[in-house]
Amino acid sequence: MERVQRGEVRAFDLLFERFRARLFGFLYRRCGDGPVAEDLLQETWLRVVRSRDRYDPQRRFSTWLFQIANNLCRDRGRRLAVERRGKRELTDAMLVEAPTGNPHPVDSRLDMPGLLGRLSDRQREVVVLRYFHDHSERDIARIVGIPPGTVKSRLHQAIRVMREQKAADAD
Amino acid sequence: MPTNIVCEKTSARLEAAFWSRRAPSPADVTHVASCPSCGGEWEALKAVANSLATSVPPEFAEVRARSIRQVVAREFANSTPPIAVATRRLPIGYGRELARILGWALLPLPIALFAYLQLFQFGAALLGQVLPEWGVVAVGFVAASAAASWLAVVYGSIPLVAYQRLSGFDDAFKTPHEVST
Ligand SMILES: [Zn+2]
């Protein structure tokens, strides 16, 4: 990465290839959509290039890279949630009888098949990093920007959700 | 659910094994085989693992990868050099050189100031005979500010002179990027 900071295009190519499959796998499992993952991958690298002066060589490059990628996924999740809420409010307003009860919660779950789609965005990010990418809890804490203890508790909650889902599927 | 300390500890280790996608230790395998509670835990975790295994990313087309690489490489080539790289470190020994020149430059300062003050008083006395008091004050003010400006220019240029002596005069006026190439 230091060679990339010095402006070596060849070094960038090497980095891109080295993280290509990992980063794509991460983005795909985070957002559940191949073409979207490809777009986010491009955006991640563009951000790496644009903010390469802010990279601290004392830190691991993969932590920084996944931090950027994860933030993009979060932004996308938030945008989707707002869009969905907007659509629902519009539908509700069009109904003759006004709905009662609580307003719809912001839905961060995705139209994603499988167990990952049953997790909240906050749970999914730690699960994907821990289970599929073998990042340590400390590393995940840095990527996600939460204390290591919170990573542990989110992983624990995620297991519970996934186990309950499996049990429900079996019934 | 775990009913005693052994089961609780086993359960924590099973969860750790699940996250690292490792098999449990032989001791835990033995316990799991004989304990219905931990056996159930492990079966549930295995079911979750089997489900997660179906989350396989699609193929990342080579054509798309190449196009992304090109877009990013173009951005890379067009982007201005980052600040961290552009910022040139001061030459080695800069502080010592600065102190040395400053020391030499400060030596004659008291004598120069004293001489100037004498000249100032002499001029004021001379002008006092031909100009009214306000005229002398005005000329004195101009003379004092001229002296202050000269001092600012001379002593203000010392850091630049020190830099120039260590790294060549031209470099001091180039942009950091030009210097580094
Ligand atoms: Zn047990």
What whole-number distance in Å separates Cα of residue B181 and Cα of residue B177? 6
Q: How close B20 gets to chain A, by Cα (Å)?
A: 6
Q: How close B72 gets to chain A, by Cα (Å)?
A: 6
Tens digits of residue pLDDT in A1-57? 777 766 677 778 888 999 999 999 999 999 988 999 999 999 999 999 998 888 888
pLDDT beyond 60 at B178: no
Put simply, whether A89 touches B (Cβ < 8 Å) is: no
Question: With contact defined as beta carbons under 8 Å apart, do B21 and B14 qualify?
Answer: no
Residue pointed to by tokens 């031909």: B130
Q: How close B30 gets to chain A, by Cα (Å)?
A: 23
Residue B167 C-beta-side C-alpha neighbours within 13 Å = 20
Q: What is the pLDDT of residue A52?
A: 86
pLDDT confidence tier of residue B46, bands split at 50, 70 and 90: very high
Kindly report the pTM of this predicted structure.
Answer: 0.64
DSSP assignment of B143-155 equals HHHHHHHHHHHHH
Q: Under CATH, which architecture does the A2-170 domain have?
A: Orthogonal Bundle (1.10)
Residues from chain B contacting residue A11 (CB–CB below 8 Å): none
Enumerate residues 6+ apart whose C-beta is below 8 A from A122: A108, A154
Rounded to two decimals, the ipTM of the complex is 0.80
Q: What is the pLDDT of residue A152?
A: 95
Q: In chain A, what are the domain boundaries?
A: 2-170
Give the Å distance between the CA of A10 and the centre of ligand 1. Answer: 55
Closest in A20, A25, A46 to B75, CB measured:
A46
Q: Which of A16-20, A90-94, A163-167, B49-53 has the lowest mean pLDDT?
A: A90-94
pLDDT beyond 50 at B4: yes
Q: What is the pLDDT of residue B173?
A: 35
Residues from chain B contacting residue A37 (CB–CB below 8 Å): 57
pLDDT beyond 60 at B167: no
Q: What is the pLDDT of residue A155?
A: 96
pLDDT confidence tier of residue A110, bands split at 50, 70 and 90: low
Q: Which of B29-38, B68-77, B171-180 has the lowest mean pLDDT?
A: B171-180
Question: With contact defined as beta carbons under 8 Å apart, do B81 and A7 qualify?
Answer: yes
Q: Which of A52-56, A114-118, B63-67, B166-170 has the lowest mean pLDDT?
A: B166-170
pLDDT beyond 60 at B172: no
Which one has a higher pLDDT value, B35 or A113?
A: B35
DSSP assignment of B24-38 equals PPHHHHHHHHH-HHH
- A42, B72: Cβ pair inside 8 Å? yes
Q: What is the pLDDT of residue B159?
A: 86
Q: Which of B145, B148, B161 is nearest to B112 (CA)?
A: B148
Q: What is the pLDDT of residue B89?
A: 58
Q: How close B39 gets to chain A, by Cα (Å)?
A: 14
Residues from chain B contacting residue A20 (CB–CB below 8 Å): 60, 65
Residues from chain A contacting residue B83 (CB–CB below 8 Å): 53
Q: How close A162 gets to chain B, by Cα (Å)?
A: 6
Give the nearest chain B residue to A161 (CA atoms). Answer: B48
For chain B, percent of residues with pLDDT exceeding 90 = 34
Q: What is the pLDDT of residue A91?
A: 67
Closest in B52, B76, B84 to A49, CB measured:
B76
Give the nearest chain B residue to A50 (CA atoms). Answer: B79
What whole-number distance in Å separates Cα of residue B133 and Cα of residue A170? 107
Closest in A5, A9, A16 to B82, CB measured:
A5
- A21, B44: Cβ pair inside 8 Å? no
- A28, B69: Cβ pair inside 8 Å? no
- B73, A37: Cβ pair inside 8 Å? no
Give the nearest chain A residue to B11 (CA atoms). Answer: A156
pLDDT confidence tier of residue B94, bands split at 50, 70 and 90: confident
Category of B168 on φ-ψ map: left (φ > 0), alpha (ψ -120 to 50) or beta = left
Give the Å distance between the CA of B38 and the centre of ligand 1. Answer: 4
